[in-house]
Structure 1
Amino acid sequence: MIKVERIEQPEELTEDVQHQLTAEFKKDKKSVWDKKYIKDKLLKECNNKCVYCECFIGKGHKEMHIDHFHYKDKYEDEVVVWSNLNPSCPHCNKSKSSHDTYEEPIINPFEQNPQDYFYLKNYRYYGKNSQVEKIVRDTIGVLGLNDTDDVVKFRFEQGEALIDKIEDIYEFASENEKVLCNDTRKKNRVLRGCKNILNKGIKEAEYSAFMATIIMDDTYYIKLKKLLRTLGLWSYELQNLDDEVRKNRMQTTPDL
């Protein structure tokens, strides 16, 4: 889970339209929010990811659900309020179900920065200190963020593959250190590999909170960056990517 910025609501969702759709929902309980212009804008603002678990959603990926952060059947007046619509995957939306977020708050990444609440360990979320433990525990439980079969195993698979990739690129760079600056083919292989690694941790990437944390804390990545700097191969592009990934990194230990 990473901090997500809310973008402007669709132009089509005018105040009059909101009133009309809300009235329709109150009368017939129809899925009045199931509009292409709403879905498209939600996908855009979350980079085609579930705003909670960060798996890819939409065409070619898991089905996109529109989650009403404040439960639609109880808070009918918010059924098409833009700030109440969160793009979600089926797992997170179904897990959250009819949970009342007013009575028992959970973390909303549009409003709160998950870095202030979580630390990561073994591909799972934990509360970083006692002050946030209650809301973190509720968030994890309500959304099923640490469910092994539905969520954790996918983070694990991608994370372990990323760790192997980082080690492979570093070892290749280290073995070819003396010729790397003059052998264009080998140099490009290393630089492309490094760029591909960093792209796994940017905000648009799947499970970016976990992937960014893995990259920034990986011993071989640290060595790879140092080697490329020593050889004068660490570019502005790589540094910009590194800076972006670092912003998504989360703690791996609780606060003392």
Structure 2
Amino acid sequence: MRSLSENAVDRASLARLAKMLADDEITSGRAWACFSQPDQLKNFGDQKIAFSAAEVKAYKSLRKLASTKLFKQFKGACVYCRRPVGRYGYSWHIEHVWPKALHPRKTFLMSNLAVGCVDCNRWKGVRVDKTAAQVLPIIDPTQRGFKYSRHLGYVQISTEDLHLIKYLTKDALGAETHALLNFSEIERFTLIDSMNGDLAQLHSELRRLLGACNPEDPEDERLIELLLKLRGSIYRVQGT
């Protein structure tokens, strides 16, 4: 992300977080929370971190630049499920492909950042990020020469009344991605939402709540798990 720094203040502000992370003064989750929401005082209960007005401005500027670059690089689509994100699509997060908790040195590397929709980001956090220390069990869209079509096929059909998405697995990584990120649920709720406006509205609110949760917070982590289970139960019942 240093390459996005436009001036000495940006570089110094980013270097401060990177040094705190390297010196084990702060966890990768807290470092990213500071970068993402740089309030004047960041209170983590056992740790308080203050930033100057210049640093707050620098972090906000760098995040905007990173988001713009990633959105363009990945063509406005989630790197895992390929659904559109942004203004006319689903909510999204800056995604750490190799989990920052296990790979803190990759926290601010643009080469490890991508576009992830709320759905894929949350399932990856629950099922992948806690164990991917040496091997990533799902596709790595940041890998040199990566081609989505080698691992997964993405079929989308829309009519006036129906919207259908189908994923076709082509190899072991594609199959694991499909299973761990719960693509079957995406297929199910996409179809059901297109036929049931009330349920689609409820789903939109569930997704908003998921997007507002902080996976670094233990309380929010439990809420995320509960919301994902609740959504799964709703759509399993509707799909029967």
* TM-score computed with the length of structure 2 as normaliser: 0.49
* TM-score computed with the length of structure 1 as normaliser: 0.47
Structure 1 or 2: larger strand share?
A: 2
Structure whose CA Rg is larger: 1
Structure with the bigger RCO (C-alpha within 8 Å, sep 6+) is: 1
